[in-house]
Structure 1
Amino acid sequence: MSGGKTINVQTFLNETRFSAYQWITFALCFFVVLLDGFDTAAIGYIAPSLLKEWGISKPALGPVLSAALFGLAAGALAAGPLADRLGRKLVLTGSTLVFALACAGSSFAGSLEQLTALRFVTGIGLGAAMPNAITLMSEYSPDKRRSLLTNAMFSGFPLGAAFGGFLAAWMIPQWGWRSVLLLGGIAPLVLVGMMIAFLPESVRYMVARRMPAERIRAVLRRISAAVDQTSDFVMTETAAAGAKARGGLLLVLSRGYLVGSVMMWLAYFMGLVIFYAVINWMPLLMKDAGLSPQDATLISALFPLGGVGAIFFGWLMDRTNGNRVIAVGYLLTAAAIYGVGQAVGNVGLLMVLVLVGGSLLNTSQVSMPALGAGFYPTQCRATGVAWMLGIGRFGGIAGSMLVAELARRELGLGTIFTVVAVPGIIAAAALLIKQLAHPETRAEHQESVAEAHGHTEEVRLGGH
């Protein structure tokens, strides 16, 4: 490649050693997602303190628990098309700044209404940041390690959510619930400065948008000097038949991608029904079941801790069929969540089941963006991943409202967790339908990895 005038950027990424520059991109995206998880889960951990300080009932918490989820959905749905038009870096950095300022502002809220409004704005930033971090990381990954690296980066989300629980259990008794939100605002502000200085734009995006060769060469030179004499860049890309002229949402909803898109939306939606039903309500439900507030918070924090298993799923997805791998994860999640509801009297068994159930669910959820990033081509990848995450956020809203309604009906803990387990079965079925509609054999999977996922469409960039 070093002596040629033309470089295929994905071939370049595939054949060049993963550089320190790409690891910096990985680290920045990882910390964006980690802080996203921290801020998203924070409201559930401070909920018991809100009940006590403001003297409100549990049903009154519904709006503030759901506010960030509505914001997350709005942010994700808007950010994907924006990033496909304006670039990954600009939207990712701006959205991180939004959730940093709004989360810090939430710590000064004087009423439930103020907190609800600020949580909505926080959610907009959070929802816009995550899909762009995923997309950017995917577009700097070699094909053979794309799912592994994307999943490893996205595992920051459950780690951040779990870390928030442990921090909340320590911080709230000393400094109150406001300290958790203040930390959730200051940390991403520091990260924004680092992103402005070190985060690159997606090179695949720059080629797809026909940006100047000098700009592309300057980024790729940070990975390898092999591009120094290059004046023309091309990109091997996936495109469904008849979809070349389309981009963004039109391509996501085109005939070649529609069934897969809808099934991924459904699977991610159902996974978040479970996640937010558990993460927002488990501290309160466990407290009502007789555990101390601190024990209830610590046990609940075990639930999102297990997302690091996604690294193993990513490794499997790079070698076999991702639809089936994640479907099995959802089925096992349903069994574990059912078990949680039956084990409340046994704290040791409860802790094991919460950790196992969380590991399975978070591994499956964390793997979904990598599945989406591999399914869509560059011209609609940010939109495709963002809309999956955005539509899925309504599952989070549904999960919070579902448990609120079940609690209002005074159903037992076993019954509540049985109902919450059902979406896991639905999610698994959705991915199996996607596999039937877009069948991918082992041979096709290996070919897609070797040839950048299928049909060849060269995007040429002239200029010297």
Structure 2
Amino acid sequence: MHQNNALSEKGATPPAVAGSNAQSVNVQDFLNQHPFSRFQWLIFALCFIVVLLDGFDTAAIGFIAPSLLKEWGMTRPDLAPVLSAALFGLAAGALIAGPLADRMGRKLVLSISVLLFGVACTWSSFAPNLGQLTALRFLTGLGLGAAMPSAVTLMSEYCPDQRRSTLTNAMFCGFPLGAACGGFLAAWMIPQWGWRSVLLAGGIAPLLLAVMMLYFLPESVRYMVAKGQPAARIRAALSRVSATLGDARSFIMSEKNITGNARSGASVVLSRPYITGSVMLWLTYFMGLVIFYALINWMPLLLKDAGLAPKTATLVSALFPLGGVGAILCGWLMDRFNANRVIAVCYALTAVCIYAIGQVTGNVGALMLVVFVGGTLMNTAQSSMPALAAAFYPTQGRATGVAWMLGLGRFGGIAGSFLVAELARRQFGIGGIFSILAVAGLIAAAALLVKQSAQSKNTK
């Protein structure tokens, strides 16, 4: 049976054939040839909710921070550990979960991750002091960091090739939506029930979702083929996509079998055909988060120092994270054109806008325009990166590849915050600070072009 389910060595495999006379069914051809089914929309919905809750719980600590200061009588610097704990947990969770998902399966790791951040977030609502809340926020981040790449990988492996980037990017839009919903819910809940109610809601929802996932979420069909699992399991999953499958008993995939040289997800990601692309993905995502966190954390203060009224500076800064829905359009372009170049253009244009922010602070109208356009381009590019990584790696290393990019990239957020603090300490003006941040966008664009060049050489 294992040999029947093995991957194709050269990629020249027969197309998917329905019915009992099929010698072998190519699972990706089968997904490509049939309409996107209710079963696949169910997978999309469950993964979208995972990402939405990820956004809610990641942002929750920021919404309750003022209440913590008041109730526990702390100063702003006292909040630094609890605000950063989840960020370190996100990085650690992603780095650990990717190889586990490639070894143990996407569904198991995703379900455990959702359960972990649900339990940790619920428990944190009862934290009696800052020390325990900080530790629980790290555990919450651990689960959140593990869940995101597993959801991206599972979703991408049930998508037809011609719609993969569009659907994966649409799923990833759940993150900013969850963060935004968290703000509205916090504003309503905290005055009535206190800050603990926000964490309690953010914990109970993923616990309920974890139960639903155990019952309704399938394992990745591509993962099952790669691992040589019983044909009956693969047939059961594909039959829910289309009943035309019949009683096919052998399944293959049209991607190069590299398991002879790479026994784990990590060894795939670090193997010679993929190492250059891997490093370029890490660098790109890192630089994107340098820009994102630098502007989210510092732009209100920088604009205020440049002479804007505090309220105006806050409102202008709030325009920056609004453009994440542009990722759906970017996904559509990625499915039709060269994905590396599409995202590289977004990063390059982001750099232009970031530079312009530092030059037009005297004109509020122009400032609002470049902040909004820059935010749309930045969030679009960054939200499209998981889909790009998922398409780059083969099944044996996909979860590790996506997870390591997300995990290592998190350190860019830490670096961005410290970078602006150091530049301000050295008395750089607002024009100089934004000019330096713009360089990160150019580096991200260049890294994707290097990845494209290396990818082209490997396919020749």
Q: Provide TM-score, normalisation by structure 2.
A: 0.86
Kindly indicate whether residue 279 of structure 2 is the aligned counterpart of residue 262 of structure 1.
Answer: yes
Q: Deviations over 1:251-297 (max 9, x none)?
A: 111111111100000000111122223334556667886435xx877
| Contact preservation (8 Å) 1:326, 1:428 | yes
Q: Aligned residue for 1:449?
A: none
CA distance in 2, matches of 1:168, 1:406: 34
Q: Aligned residue for 2:415?
A: 398
1:335 to 352, 355, 369: 352
* Greater Cα offset, 105-114 or 366-375: 105-114
Q: Aligned residue for 1:197?
A: 215
Against the structure 1 CA distance between its residues 364 and 238, is the aligned structure 2 distance closer, same or farther, given a 3 Å change threshold?
farther
| Contact preservation (8 Å) 1:161, 1:304 | no
1:2 to 18, 29, 33: 18
Against the structure 1 CA distance between its residues 273 and 84, is the aligned structure 2 distance closer, same or farther, given a 3 Å change threshold?
same
Q: Aligned residue for 2:10?
A: none
After the TM superposition, which residues 102-117 of structure 1 pair with which residues of structure 2 at under 5 Å, given as runs? 102-117=120-135
2:372 to 329, 333, 355: 355
Kindly indicate whether residue 72 of structure 2 is the aligned counterpart of residue 39 of structure 1.
Answer: no
Q: Aligned residue for 2:85?
A: 67
CA distance in 1, matches of 2:424, 2:128: 27
Q: How many residues align?
A: 440
Q: Which runs of 5+ in 1 are unaligned?
A: 445-453, 456-464
Cα shift at 1:13: 0.5
Kindly indicate whether residue 39 of structure 2 is the aligned counterpart of residue 21 of structure 1.
Answer: yes
Q: Which amino acid aligns with 1:258?
A: I
After the TM superposition, which residues 359-438 of structure 1 pair with which residues of structure 2 at under 5 Å, given as runs? 359-406=376-423, 415-438=432-455
| Contact preservation (8 Å) 2:262, 2:271 | no
Against the structure 1 CA distance between its residues 110 and 355, is the aligned structure 2 distance closer, same or farther, given a 3 Å change threshold?
farther
Q: Aligned residue for 1:276?
A: 293
Against the structure 1 CA distance between its residues 290 and 407, is the aligned structure 2 distance closer, same or farther, given a 3 Å change threshold?
farther
**SS in structure 1 of the partner of residue 310 of structure 2:** coil
| Contact preservation (8 Å) 1:267, 1:431 | yes
Q: Which amino acid aligns with 1:204?
A: R
Cα shift at 1:8: 0.9
After the TM superposition, which residues 123-162 of structure 1 pair with which residues of structure 2 at under 5 Å, given as runs? 123-162=141-180
1:310 to 317, 327, 333: 327
Q: Aligned residue for 2:310?
A: 291
CA distance in 2, matches of 1:185, 1:284: 32
Against the structure 1 CA distance between its residues 223 and 395, is the aligned structure 2 distance closer, same or farther, given a 3 Å change threshold?
same
Aligned identity (percent) is: 70
| Contact preservation (8 Å) 2:299, 2:317 | yes
CA distance in 2, matches of 1:187, 1:358: 29
CA distance in 1, matches of 2:416, 2:189: 27
**SS in structure 2 of the partner of residue 149 of structure 1:** helix
Q: Aligned residue for 1:447?
A: none
**SS in structure 1 of the partner of residue 171 of structure 2:** helix
Q: Which runs of 5+ in 2 are unaligned?
A: 1-16
CA distance in 2, matches of 1:173, 1:328: 44
The alignment's C-alpha RMSD in Å is 2.8
Q: Provide TM-score, normalisation by structure 1.
A: 0.86
* Greater Cα offset, 338-347 or 174-183: 338-347
1:76 to 80, 85, 94: 94
Q: Which amino acid aligns with 1:357?
A: G
Q: Aligned residue for 2:118?
A: 100
* Greater Cα offset, 260-269 or 321-330: 321-330
Cα shift at 1:367: 0.9
**SS in structure 2 of the partner of residue 108 of structure 1:** coil
Q: Deviations over 1:70-127 (max 9, x none)?
A: 1111100110110111110111011011112222333333333222211111110011
Q: Which amino acid aligns with 2:39?
A: Y
Cα shift at 1:156: 1.4
Cα shift at 1:211: 0.9
* Greater Cα offset, 1-10 or 368-377: 1-10
Cα shift at 1:129: 0.3
CA distance in 1, matches of 2:395, 2:62: 36
CA distance in 1, matches of 2:449, 2:34: 35
Q: Which amino acid aligns with 2:393?
A: Y
Cα shift at 1:230: 0.8
CA distance in 2, matches of 1:436, 1:420: 25
* Greater Cα offset, 397-406 or 280-289: 280-289
CA distance in 2, matches of 1:50, 1:332: 39
Cα shift at 1:435: 1.7
Q: Which amino acid aligns with 1:371?
A: L
| Contact preservation (8 Å) 1:62, 1:401 | no
Cα shift at 1:194: 1.9
Q: Which amino acid aligns with 1:82?
A: L
Q: Deviations over 1:213-258 (max 9, x none)?
A: 1111111111111223211111111456x96554311111111111
Q: Which amino acid aligns with 2:18?
A: S
Cα shift at 1:398: 1.7
Against the structure 1 CA distance between its residues 408 and 67, is the aligned structure 2 distance closer, same or farther, given a 3 Å change threshold?
farther
CA distance in 1, matches of 2:367, 2:64: 22
